[in-house]
Each structure stands twice: as structure tokens, then as C-alpha cells.
Amino acid sequence: MQCEMCGINIASQKVLIEGTEMTVCADCGKFGEMIEALASAKKDEKATIQKRSVLSTFNTRPRAMPEPEIQEIIVGDYAEILHRKRERMGMTQKEFAAFLAERESIIHKIETNSYEMPIKMARKFEKLLKVSLIEEYEEKKISMGNASSGDQVTIGDLITVRKRA
């Protein structure tokens, strides 16, 4: 038999070279992996996967019901609250910015309500200025009273059909 890589007539072996199964001589066989060795490795891998799947079934715990999410939102009139607080303290925007360790341009944008302040910054301002800027908002799930199939809501339950007169 002839080697598929070098063309020498010699006893050959099946080898996997760069993803291709080839019949090559012993010298060219060192460039790949013998197929019998790969087959035994795949069998070992399958056995390991089966063992893992058996173990994972015993470790499952029942999941707890999700608690209602409590989100934090910044109050709508935060710009006015900060502006009034700055004026009561008798500071300019530049002094106020230095006091809060923020840039003057950010303070100006906050007071003109052209900058959406992140929650982290609002918490920082609350601590330094002793004002309330953050509200907690709890999402409540609303059940559809019109649901036709018990717990599941279908598209038909959500659509309002108008009759033509």
C-alpha cells in the first residue's frame, strides 16, 4: 500500500491529520494521531459525561419562588431638590461640584435636568447632602381576570375585538 503523504510503498496505518483520516507510513504518522488511540479517548469521554449526568440529577434542589423585585428609582424632581439644596448652602455650582467631588459641567447638567443621574451618584449625593433622591419601587404581577385557560394567558385574551356596525 502507498502512503498518502509521501508516496512510499510500505505497511501503513490510519492516522488523523488536521481533521482528515489518512493512510500513511510510520514516518508520516508522527504528524497526526492514531485513530485507535482517538477512539479509546472518545469512549472514556462518553463514560465521563454519563457519570456527570448521573451525579447532576442527585444534586438538583427545588427552586424557590422568585420574590418580587424591588427596584430603586431616582425621584422625578431631583434636579430641583439639588438646586434648592445648593442655594440653601450658599454655594456656586463650582463650589458645589468641589464639595461633591464631581465636575462642574455634570452639576450644571443635573440642575438643568439634561443629565440622567446614575443610582450610584444619587446615593453619594444622598449621603453628602442628607436629602432623599432614591425611591424603592416594587413590581407587582397583575393577573388577567379575562384569562381563558387558567394560569396561561393567550393572545386572544389580550386582544379586544371591535365589531363593525
Report pLDDT for 98. 93
pLDDT digits (tens, 9 = 90+) for 58-68: 555 655 566 66
Report pLDDT for 123. 92
Q: Which residues contact 122 (CB under 8 A, 6 or more apart)?
A: 74, 78, 133, 134
pLDDT digits (tens, 9 = 90+) for 115-159: 888 999 999 999 999 999 898 887 666 555 554 555 677 777 777
Q: What order do you get walking across the sheet with 20-24 strand by strand?
A: 20-24, 13-17, 33-34
How far is 75 from 137, CA to CA, in rounded Å? 11
Coil, strand or helix: which one is 140? coil
Q: Which domains can be identified in the chain, with CATH numbers?
A: 1-47 (no CATH), 70-138 (1.10.260.40)
Residue % of the chain over a pLDDT of 70: 68
> Cα dihedral sign for 88, 89, 92, 93?
negative
Cell, residue 103: 465636575
Q: Is 17:24 a contact under the CB 8 Å cutoff?
A: yes
